[in-house]
Amino acid sequence: MCGIVGYLGKRQALPVIIKGLKRLEYRGYDSAGVALLNGGLEIVKKKGKVADLESEIGNRKLEASLGIGHTRWATHGEPNDRNAHPHTSSDGKLAIIHNGIIENYSSIKKELESNGHVFKSDTDSEVLIHLIEEIKKQNNCTIEEAVRLALNEVVGAYAIVVLSKDNERSMIAARKGSPLVIGIGEDEYFVASDATPIIEYTNNVTYLNDQEMAIIKDGSLVVKNLENVTKTPFIQKLELDLEDIEKGGYPHFMLKEIFEQPKSIRDAMRGRLVSREHHLFLSGIDQYLNRFLNADRLILVGCGTSWHAGLIGEYLFEDIARIPTEVEYASEFRYRNPIVTERDVVIAVSQSGETADTLAAIELAKSKGALIFGVCNVVGSSIARASHAGAYLHAGPEIGVASTKAFTSQVTILTMMALYLGLKKGTISLSDYQTLLLELDSIPDKVAKILTKDEEIRNISENFYRASNFLYLGRGFNFPVALEGALKLKEISYIHAEGYPAAEMKHGPIALIDEDMPVVFIATKDSSYEKVISNIQEVKARKGKVIAIVTDGDTEIQSMADFTFQIPKTADALVPLLAVIPLQLLSYHIAILRGCNVDQPRNLAKSVTVE
């Protein structure tokens, strides 16, 4: 949610900021703006994408070595020029960019208005910069102290960067609940929502913790908490290459990331699975092995695609490791007064590691004594730091808003966890364990084989891109895959789609089926195969159009479906890793045929850092 960039150093700030905003545009693209400080405070902002901001700047010479920039995902106030960031104080001497939500902004705004403040936007962010201005005036204090005092008064989540016209060689950054990373170069500093704008210039970074401030001033970095206690920043090196965040010749990041899945799945297993030696080791689990083995239950929490991965995890943990497992929407978990004890293990699943609802669920579970195990992709992220232990996906940066490779990496990690625990508990035979390890090791090659038939999926897509509704159906391990396929189509093509257990079709969705309704079946040869065939026949009897994902060599379903796409045979538990690939491609090609922006779908942002 929203992208933040700040620069202080020896370069021209504007090119650094604009390039950084383009790399962060997956976080929000409703509007964008910059503030540059060089004697005066120069602000340019515009509704639309960063390209629209560039056009607004035009040929103006905005020279400065200090500046901030922002690309917005709207929360308070519709997307327009006046609600775009940066926002300024009433005297025009202070500027702020903000990611997050100030929950008590309304009461603060009323008090400030009674003191004569006039607001130009509908945003909570403008209220915060006016509050900082008022505190500075009332207390006759430094800008650093005014920011610290103001942040002690606000309720909510924030990542902010503040400039002051009176402090030409300094900027102040702070965070609570929204990510902020500081890059440290040679006589220059960078501030950003994530590392993608920074890696081109330096790989030395420090991540701010919650309720910490960074004062970057006169070539130095000081980190303090909101109690004014100085902290020693932990400097670490980024394990990120510049080419990882470029398109690499693909027309869209989403397509690139779909095609990266043979590598990303392999990287999730690297150092953990050696199939030839029948060896699997997960250090994060091993250090808390007794807690896992003696757990009353596992609770998986996540949002969106991560929740779907968690549903597959539930099938895996119960089937292989025989541990009672529940899957919760993180956004609902904290609000229903859940029963959590010290005998529970909570597995938090998140690509970004910054999902606000998942972080809130973690904090609630920790307060009840539960063990927290994080499954996330971004090293140094908030969920990684809040967890007792965990496993990184190692999927590399995922820039496309619709998650693809992170999903299959999450499922890969959860599969290895279930196998590891099943072996330790003795709930899976050694022969079955070894067979599944070998089969899991073969998955990347089988995904690569599916991807060679991309054109086949595109041809199927041409028959359905004008549809208004889709239904996705699957049983067992493939029910969550149906949910994920439907979500992908909704996210990037704006076609209404529903995912259901195939057996539930007769309990409502069958009423929707007619000759205009495409129905996607995950119909591989597993223990539910005959039941799925019956469901397909029920759809065909009502003139529905059937697209079936089937196992190589299946001729029975091919004879009754309108379109089939074959995937390699694998174990039932591993089918989701293969079946989801053609569904990702189907969504991608339908969206392209409809003229949609697949990397930046409307109203969505990559990392949901506000509740």
Q: 8 forms bridges with which residues in the sheet? A: 66, 189
Range 3-241 has CATH code 2.130.10.10: no
Question: Within 13 Å of residue 253, how many CA atoms lie on the same side as its CB?
Answer: 25
Selecting among 47, 256, 545, 606, the annotated active-site residue is 606
Domain boundaries, the chain: 3-241, 247-451, 453-600
Cα–Cα distance for residue pair 508/595, rounded to 1 Å: 32
List, for residues 332-387, the tens digit of each pLDDT value. 998 888 999 999 999 999 998 888 889 889 999 999 999 999 999 988 788 988 99
List, for residues 104-140, the tens digit of each pLDDT value. 999 999 999 999 999 999 999 999 999 999 999 999 9
Closest CA to 530 of 472, 473, 475, 470: 475
Selecting among 2, 303, 376, 596, the annotated active-site residue is 2
List, for residues 304-330, the tens digit of each pLDDT value. 999 999 999 999 999 999 999 999 999
Asked if domains 3-241 and 247-451 share a fold, the reply is: no
Cα–Cα distance for residue pair 328/341, rounded to 1 Å: 16
Q: Above 60 in pLDDT, residue 611?
A: no
Cα–Cα distance for residue pair 509/56, rounded to 1 Å: 49
Q: What's this model's pTM, rounded to 2 decimal places? A: 0.85
Most confident of 280-289, 443-452, 544-553: 443-452
In CATH, what class is 247-451?
alpha beta
Cα–Cα distance for residue pair 568/437, rounded to 1 Å: 17
Closest CA to 574 of 481, 452, 464, 457: 481
Active-site residue flag, 141: no
In CATH, what class is 453-600?
alpha beta
List, for residues 196-223, the tens digit of each pLDDT value. 889 889 989 999 988 999 999 878 999 9
